[in-house]
Structure 1
Amino acid sequence: MPEQTLWNRTRQAVYDEIARTAMELFLTRGFEATTIDDIAKAAGISRRSFFRYFGTKEDIVLGDLAAQGELAARALAERPQSEDPWTALRSAFHAIKDVTYDADTMLKVSKMMYETPSLRARHIEKHLRWQESLVPELRRRLRADPDDPLDVRAEALVACAITCLDVAGEAWTRANGAVPLEDLFDSAAAALRP
Structure 2
Amino acid sequence: MDAEASLWERSRRAAYAEISGIAMRLFLDQGFEQTTIDQIAAAAGISRRSFFRYFGTKEDVLLGDLARDGERLRDALEDIPTDIGPWEALRRALDAVHALERDSSDLLKIARMMYDTPSLLSRSAEKHRHWQSLLLPDIRARLGPDADDVSAAAIIAAAIACLDTAGEAWARSDGTLDLAELYDRAIATVRGST
Separation (CA, whole Å) in 2 of partners of 1:111 and 1:73: 26
The residue type paired with residue 26 of structure 1 is F
CA–CA distance in 2 between the matches of 1:176 and 1:144? 44
Tell me the number of residue pairs that the alignment of Structure 1 and Structure 2 aligns: 188
Preserved contact between residue 17 and residue 43 of structure 1 (Cα < 8 Å)? yes
1:179 aligns to what? 177
Please give the per-residue CA displacement for 1:97-132, whole angstroms capped at 9, x wherever unaligned.
Answer: 36xx96110000110111111001001110111110
Alignment RMSD (CA, Å)? 2.0
Aligned residue for 1:132?
133
Alignment partners' CA distance in 2, 1:75 and 1:165? 17
Q: Against the structure 1 CA distance between its residues 188 and 102, is the aligned structure 2 distance closer, same or farther, given a 3 Å change threshold?
A: closer
In the TM superposition, what are the counterparts of 1:85-164 in structure 2 within 5 Å? 85-97=86-98, 103-145=104-146, 152-164=150-162
TM-aligned CA deviation for residue 166 of structure 1: 0.4
Separation in structure 1 between the aligned mates of residue 88 and residue 31 of structure 2, nearest angstrom: 39
The residue that corresponds to 1:59 in the other structure is 60
Q: What's the CA shift for 1:52? A: 0.9
Correspondence for 2:19: 18
Distance (whole Å) between structure 1 residues aligned to residue 46 and residue 27 of structure 2: 17
After the TM superposition, which segments of 4 or more aligned residues of structure 1 sit over 6 Å from their partners?
Answer: none
Contact preservation (8 Å) 1:75, 1:92: yes
* 2-structure distance, mates of 1:75, 1:107: 25
Measured against aligned partners, the alpha-carbon deviations of 1:33-53 in whole angstroms (never above 9, x if no partner) come to: 111111111111111111111
Cα distance between partner residues in 1 of 2:34 and 2:52 = 19
> Does the CA contact (< 8 Å) of 1:90 and 1:189 recur in 2?
no
SS of the aligned residue for 1:169 comes to: helix
- The answer to whether the 8 Å contact 2:22/2:40 transfers is yes
- Match for residue 166 of structure 1? 164
Q: Distance in 2 between matches of 1:12 and 1:89?
A: 29
Superposed CA deviations along residues 66-103 of structure 1, whole A, max 9, x for unmatched, are 111111112222222222222212222222336xx961
Secondary structure of the 1:64 match is helix
TM-score by length of 1: 0.89
TM-score where L is the length of structure 2: 0.89
The answer for the alignment partner of 1:34 in structure 2 is 35
User: What is the distance in 2 between the residues matched to 1:68 and 1:86?
Assistant: 18
CA apart distance, 1:188: 1.0
Instruction: List gaps (5 residues or longer) in structure 2.
Output: none
**Percent identity of the aligned residues?**
55
How far apart, in 2, do the equivalents of 1:55 and 1:179 lie?
34
Does the aligned pair in 1 maintain the 2:83–2:142 contact within 8 Å? no
Q: Hey, what does 1:43 align to over in structure 2?
A: 44
The alpha carbon displacement at 1:145 in A equals: 4.6
- What is the DSSP-based 3-state SS (H/G/I as helix, E as strand, rest coil) of the residue aligned with 1:5? helix
